[in-house]
Amino acid sequence: MEQVYNFCAGPAMIPAEVLKKAQQELIDWNGLGTSVMEISHRSKEFVVVAKQSEQDLRDLLSIPDNYHVLFCHGGARAQFAAVPLNLLGEASSADYVDGGYWAHSAAEEAEKYCSPNIIDITCEKDGKRAVLPAAQWPLSDDAAFVHFCPNETIDGIEIRDLPVTDKPIVADLSSTILSREIDVSKYGVIYAGAQKNIGPAGLTIVIVRDDLLGKARAALPSVLDYTVQVDKESMFNTPPTFAWYLAGEVFKWLKSIGGVAEMQKRNEAKAKVLYDYIDQSAFYRNEVHSDNRSLMNVPFQLKNPELDALFLEQAEAAGLKALAGHRAVGGMRASIYNAMPIEGVQALVDFMVKFEQDNA
């Protein structure tokens, strides 16, 4: 089979070693003569998967003991509703730091439940797209929490600052979780859809600090209620068991290569190869300032957009898949999540060099 590198923004690549193991285990898992998909989530065998995967994630992110780890359904968008409904209590406002498409979408959902204070932090720096430093974000005094999205998957913008606040910080880490080191103790709630750096779509990780439980609005659906999910160990309803099992295998893989610190090194090296090439080229450009460039999602444009279709067609034929930019912005986007090896990024750069030579 020809070597394919999949640059999809999500659902994204899963490490080949993990897929091979899952393939071997698909029909006969753990000697049970059945797959992990076909057993009860309450069986002793699955409970081992649930406990081990939680422990591995705790180890990978050094999650302190006063945080709960939940394995939920519904993707990040379910959390756009779950966060305000769980955390607002009697409050009527929360700060929504707006650095791009996904942070803005979270704020729009929150408008159903409160009056979010939407803080546009986007700016221009040296002619490039950037975000203001956290010290300049006008946070409000009456916010129940401060929500932000450290990696904007579509815009290719990464916010490395944390909000300067004593309010609980809520972060949508969907496209950056496990890609670089973070200090979980600085956050109130972290959530992430699994389909980029963790495993198959259908699973959502929620990490919630213990003191934030018990503030839920009465109308909160039980399935989104953090307290219910904590009490039921993420099994209030049937969890997405296969996605959970596969996430556990990805966590084991990540530990085996040296954990998040090693992953961060590899991700920095991968991103550097691509940005360095784009920056020296007169044929391609990336519009994000180097202070805010995403390690995970690299949007780039051809100087001549009339060549976009040809670029995508020839890239696809060369085994470089899913490079079209998001429909909201066009151009190209290479998502280079944890499972993308540096060889894939190098193959993309080699292709870009050749395409530039042929079409400049």
Annotated binding site for L-glutamate: 42
Kindly calculate the radius of gyration of the chain based on its CA atoms and give it in whole angstroms: 21
Q: List the structure tokens of 298.
A: 């690299």
Q: Report how far residue 265's alpha carbon sits from residue 278's, in angstroms, rounded to the nearest whole number.
A: 20
Stretch near ligand PMP under the rule CB under 6 A, chosen from 38-46, 56-64, 71-79, 109-117: 71-79
Span interacting with ligand PMP, options 112-120, 167-175, 205-213, 218-226, rule CB under 6 A: 167-175
Burial class (CB within 10 angstroms; exposed 0-12, middle 13-18, buried 19+) of 280:
exposed
**Whole-number minimum distance, CB 75 to ligand PMP, in Å?**
2
How many helices (H) and strands (E) the chain has is answered by: 9, 16
CB of 243 to ligand PMP, least distance (A): 12
Asked if 53 interacts with ligand PMP (CB under 6 A), we say no
Give the interface segment with ligand PMP, choosing from 72-80, 121-129, 132-140, 315-323 (CB under 6 A): 72-80
Q: Which is nearer to ligand PMP, 77 or 217 (CB)?
A: 77
Closest residue by beta carbon to ligand PMP: 75
How many whole angstroms separate alpha carbon 136 and alpha carbon 97?
A: 11
Contact call for residues 203 and 240 (beta carbons, < 8 A): yes
**Catalytic residue (choose from 196, 244, 253, 270):** 196
Beta partners for residue 151, in sequence order: 158
String of contacts with ligand PMP for each residue 88-117, x by CB under 6 A: --------------x---------------
Residues 177-216, interacting with ligand PMP (CB under 6 A): 193
73 touches ligand PMP (CB under 6 A):
no
Give which of 200, 350, 339 is closest to 273, Cα–Cα. 350
Give the per-residue contact string, 137-166, with ligand PMP (x = CB under 6 A; - = no).
------------x---x-------------
219, 84 Cβ separation under 8 angstroms? no
Give the number of other CB atoms < 10 A from CB of residue 38.
12
196 is catalytic: yes
Of 29, 95, 98, 102, the active-site residue reads: 102
Give every CB contact of residue 298 below 8 A, 6+ residues apart in sequence: 156, 271, 274, 275, 278, 286, 333, 334, 335, 336
Q: Coil, strand or helix: which one is 226? A: helix
Examine the residue annotation and report whether 172 is marked as an active-site residue of this protein: yes
What is the number of alpha carbons within 13 Å of residue 185 lying toward its C-beta? 4
* Residue span binding ligand PMP (CB under 6 A) among the ranges 33-41, 48-56, 168-176, 282-290: 168-176
Judged by CB under 6 A, does residue 338 bind ligand PMP? no
Q: Tell me, by CB under 6 A, how many residues bind ligand PMP.
A: 12
For residue 2, give both structure tokens: 């020809």
Question: Taking the alpha carbons of 291, 293, 295, 296 in that order, is the dihedral positive or negative?
Answer: positive
Instruction: Give yes or no for residue 172 binding ligand PMP (CB under 6 A).
Output: yes
Q: How many CB atoms lie within 10 A of CB 346?
A: 15
Length of the chain equals 360
For the annotated binding site, the residues are 42, 76-77, 102, 153, 172, 195, 237-238
Task: Give the nearest distance from C-beta 194 to ligand PMP in angstroms.
Answer: 8
Active-site annotation holder among 95, 172, 225, 270: 172
Q: CA-CA-CA-CA torsion for 171, 172, 175, 177, nearest 10 degrees?
A: 50
164, 187 contact by CB (below 8 A): no
Mark 283-312 with x for binding to ligand PMP (rule: CB under 6 A) and - for no binding: ------------------------------
Q: Which of 58, 77, 217, 255 is the binder for ligand PMP (CB under 6 A)?
A: 77
| Helix, strand, or coil (residue 250) | helix
Tell me how far, at minimum, the Cβ of 139 lies from ligand PMP, in Å. 21
From the list 6, 50, 53, 75, which residue makes contact with ligand PMP (rule: CB under 6 A)?
Answer: 75
Give catalytic residue positions. Answer: 102, 172, 196
| Contact residues for ligand PMP, defined by CB under 6 A | 9-10, 75-77, 102, 149, 153, 172, 174-175, 193
